[in-house]
């Protein structure tokens, strides 16, 4: 295959496309969509600083508590706010449907609340216009529209026979047209990544790892575009008419972008139903009751615990113990309730993962699902990123509650049987400042890629398959 001839065919194809009057409206529409999506994404900046401000307010409220009994501080609690990843400006993912704040308190695991979907109109169900959404859904239509007649039209008007008789091979023609279409796709994609790059350069939260993610996202979308271009040329070369090629490509788009995603979501939800929020909470509370109430001094379970502790220390009353027994009971109750909650939470997350499984595996036969899943993972806006925040918040809540229990065990007089009032049974307010604040850490890049390994494999397999398809057609295509 002669590279100079391939480049010449690609150049001629590109010049012919940009001479077409239809390209001006297409470019204009893409620029308008780009401007709107960029404006929507930039609102991330305000939302992130809004969440940071409220995290600081929650911390200030915690630190400004007066001298107080540690168990009262455990119930006073604090908030954990989920920060948006800097690259969420490019791909919103499921951000609008997940909560962004959770109240952390002792003995109770609250759900993450305040999702944007809860405060929006029903229009949100149609999706948000992000930079990623345009490249995932609109770019394929543009590529299909530009390239559907690239080969079949030349066959219909006789140009293809002229090219072949002048010495060009089928392989050079097909790969030349594919390269020309890909160059046009790159030109259309570039403004979207320039907008994202400008934002990263001006964003305070950007770190070195974000640029590695940005490079991988750019590479992924270039591979996605190359797959679309190769498939377009292959369908054009194998179709009998331009109209037939366009219908095939539009049908392929409907299958990839509409039918398969909806079917996978519906199948996942149908075969793996999840409990309601009320049912989930009720199941946890029902199991916790089996282990008794740590706040009830006459609870049978904790009476048995008390007797065993007294026996070990060889004393007859909890007031004779060398530590605060009430704090010890609270720590045991916290451990039991946390274990129960974590077990139920893990089961619920496993159920959600089963719901997502059809879409994950269908990515092997659908490059749109592959790039969508991979893009969300790299931008920190996917399901696993949300679950990771929940786990971080619960770990911090448990640490905070048990720290307060440890302070009560160590510093509150053991002669005090119950209650938390009184100047004698309090800790200095400086104690609260020694407790570290909650800080949301984003999921590592390696973990994100590991979670979407199927999508990575799918993109690479589709690239190889599309290259093989064009190669195969170069030996079997007909000029008439």
DSSP codes joined into one string, 225-244: HHHHHHHHHHHHHH-SSHHH
What count of residues does the chain have? 480
In the chain, the number of structural domains is 1
User: 288 in a domain, yes or no?
Assistant: no
pTM score: 0.90
Q: What is the mean pLDDT of residues 60-77?
A: 92
Which residues, in sequence order, are CB contacts of 198 under 8 Å at separation 6+?
none
Token pair in block for residue 350:
């496993």
Token pair in block for residue 145:
């529209």
CA-to-CA distance for 268 and 354, rounded, in angstroms? Answer: 7
pLDDT at 263 over 80: yes
pLDDT at 294 over 80: no
| Per-residue model confidence (pLDDT) at position 122 | 45
Q: What are the helix (H) ranges across 2-108?
A: 3-19, 23-63, 70-76
Q: Which of 147-151, 237-241, 246-250, 272-276 has the highest mean pLDDT?
A: 246-250
Choose between 3 and 69: higher pLDDT: 69
User: 294 in a domain, yes or no?
Assistant: no
User: 355 in a domain, yes or no?
Assistant: yes
pLDDT at 424 over 70: no
Q: Please, which pLDDT band fits residue 7 given cuts at 50, 70 and 90?
A: confident
User: 292 in a domain, yes or no?
Assistant: no
DSSP line for 399-459: HHHHHHHHHHHHHS-TT--S---SGGG-B-THHHHTSPPP---PPPHHHHHHHTHHHHHHH
Cβ atoms of residues 62 and 78 within 8 Å: yes
CA-to-CA distance for 350 and 358, rounded, in angstroms? Answer: 14
Torsional sign, CA 66, 71, 72, 77? positive
Token pair in block for residue 235:
């369908």
Phi, psi of 38 (to 5 degrees): -65, -40
pLDDT at 83 over 80: yes
Q: Please, which pLDDT band fits residue 390 given cuts at 50, 70 and 90?
A: very high
Q: What is the mean pLDDT of residues 313-325?
A: 85
417 three-class SS: coil
As a whole number, the mean pLDDT across the chain is 87
Residues above pLDDT 90, as percent of the chain: 51
User: 374 in a domain, yes or no?
Assistant: yes
Burial class (CB in 10 A: 0-12, 13-18, 19+), 262: exposed
Other beta carbons within 10 angstroms of residue 153's beta carbon come to 15
Q: Please, which pLDDT band fits residue 119 given cuts at 50, 70 and 90?
A: very low
Nearest residue to 137 (alpha-carbon basis) of 79, 70, 192, 180? 192
User: 307 in a domain, yes or no?
Assistant: no
pLDDT at 4 over 90: no
pLDDT at 343 over 80: yes
Going by the DSSP 8-state scheme, the letter that residue 117 receives in this structure is G
| Per-residue model confidence (pLDDT) at position 313 | 87
Cβ atoms of residues 458 and 363 within 8 Å: yes
First-last CA distance in the chain: 22
Nearest residue to 334 (alpha-carbon basis) of 290, 288, 389? 288
CA-to-CA distance for 338 and 110, rounded, in angstroms? Answer: 12
Q: Please, which pLDDT band fits residue 21 given cuts at 50, 70 and 90?
A: confident
Q: Please, which pLDDT band fits residue 416 given cuts at 50, 70 and 90?
A: low
Task: Please give the residue range of the domain that contains residue 48.
Answer: 3-278+341-476
Burial class (CB in 10 A: 0-12, 13-18, 19+), 470: buried
108 three-class SS: strand
Nearest residue to 471 (alpha-carbon basis) of 186, 180, 184, 169? 169
Choose the weakest-confidence range: 3-12, 140-149, 386-395.
3-12
pLDDT at 246 over 80: yes
Q: What is the mean pLDDT of residues 99-128?
A: 68
Q: What is the mean pLDDT of residues 418-432?
A: 70
pLDDT at 418 over 70: no
Which residues, in sequence order, are CB contacts of 454 under 8 Å at separation 6+?
360, 361, 363, 364, 370, 373
Q: What is the mean pLDDT of residues 340-366?
A: 93
| Per-residue model confidence (pLDDT) at position 358 | 93
User: 309 in a domain, yes or no?
Assistant: no
| Per-residue model confidence (pLDDT) at position 479 | 63
Q: What is the mean pLDDT of residues 416-437?
A: 74
pLDDT at 167 over 60: yes
User: 398 in a domain, yes or no?
Assistant: yes
Residues above pLDDT 70, as percent of the chain: 94
| Per-residue model confidence (pLDDT) at position 121 | 42
| Per-residue model confidence (pLDDT) at position 23 | 85
pLDDT at 314 over 90: no
Q: What is the mean pLDDT of residues 208-235?
A: 95
pLDDT at 19 over 60: yes
Going by the DSSP 8-state scheme, the letter that residue 273 receives in this structure is -
Give per-residue pLDDT as tens, 185-201: 999 999 999 999 998 98
Token pair in block for residue 265:
């979501």
Choose the weakest-confidence range: 123-127, 229-233, 303-307.
123-127
Nearest residue to 34 (alpha-carbon basis) of 145, 143, 193? 193
């Amino acid at each position: 295959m002669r590279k100079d001839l391939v480049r010449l065919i690609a150049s001629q194809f590109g010049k012919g496309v940009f001479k077409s009057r239809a390209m001006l409206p297409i470019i204009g529409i893409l620029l308008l969509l780009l401007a709107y999506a960029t404006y929507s994404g930039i609102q991330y900046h305000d939302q992130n600083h809004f969440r940071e401000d409220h995290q600081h307010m929650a911390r200030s409220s915690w630190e400004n508590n007066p001298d107080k009994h540690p168990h009262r501080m455990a119930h006073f609690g604090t908030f954990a706010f989920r920060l948006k990843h800097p690259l969420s400006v490019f791909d919103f993912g499921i951000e609008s449907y997940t909560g962004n704040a959770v109240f952390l308190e002792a003995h109770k695991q609250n759900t993450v609340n305040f999702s944007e979907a809860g405060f929006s109109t029903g229009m949100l169900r149609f999706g948000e216009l992000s930079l990623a959404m345009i490249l995932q859904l609109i770019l394929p239509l543009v590529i299909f529209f530009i390239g559907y007649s690239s080969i079949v039209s030349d066959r219909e008007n006789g140009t293809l026979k002229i090219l072949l008789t002048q010495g060009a091979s089928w392989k050079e023609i097909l790969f030349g047209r594919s390269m020309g279409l890909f160059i046009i796709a790159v030109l259309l994609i570039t403004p979207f990544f320039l907008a994202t790059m400008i934002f990263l350069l001006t964003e305070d939260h950007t770190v070195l790892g974000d640029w590695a993610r940005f490079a991988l996202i750019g590479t992924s979308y270039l591979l996605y575009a190359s797959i679309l271009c190769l498939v377009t040329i292959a369908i054009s070369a194998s179709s009998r008419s331009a109209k037939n090629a366009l219908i095939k490509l539009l049908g392929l788009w409907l299958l990839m972008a509409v039918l398969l995603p909806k079917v996978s979501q519906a199948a996942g939800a149908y075969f793996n139903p999840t409990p309601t929020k009320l049912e989930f909470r009720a199941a946890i509370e029902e199991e916790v009751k089996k282990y008794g109430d740590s706040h009830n001094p006459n609870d049978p379970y904790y009476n048995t615990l008390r007797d065993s502790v007294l026996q070990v220390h060889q004393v007859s009353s909890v007031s004779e113990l060398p530590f605060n027994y009430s704090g010890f009971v609270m720590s045991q109750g916290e451990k039991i309730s946390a274990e129960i909650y974590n077990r139920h939470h893990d089961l619920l997350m496993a159920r959600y993962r089963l719901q997502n499984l059809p879409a994950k595996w269908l990515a092997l036969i659908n490059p749109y699902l592959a790039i969508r899943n991979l893009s969300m993972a790299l931008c920190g806006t996917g399901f696993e990123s949300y679950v990771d925040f929940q786990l971080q918040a619960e770990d911090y809540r448990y640490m905070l509650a048990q720290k307060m229990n440890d302070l009560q065990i160590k510093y509150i007089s053991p002669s005090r049987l119950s209650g938390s009032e009184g100047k004698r049974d309090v800790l200095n307010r400086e104690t609260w400042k020694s407790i570290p604040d909650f800080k949301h850490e984003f999921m590592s890049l390696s973990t994100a890629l590991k979670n979407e390994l199927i999508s990575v494999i799918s993109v690479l397999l589709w690239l190889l398959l599309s290259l093989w398809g064009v190669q195969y057609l170069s030996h079997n295509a007909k000029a008439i």
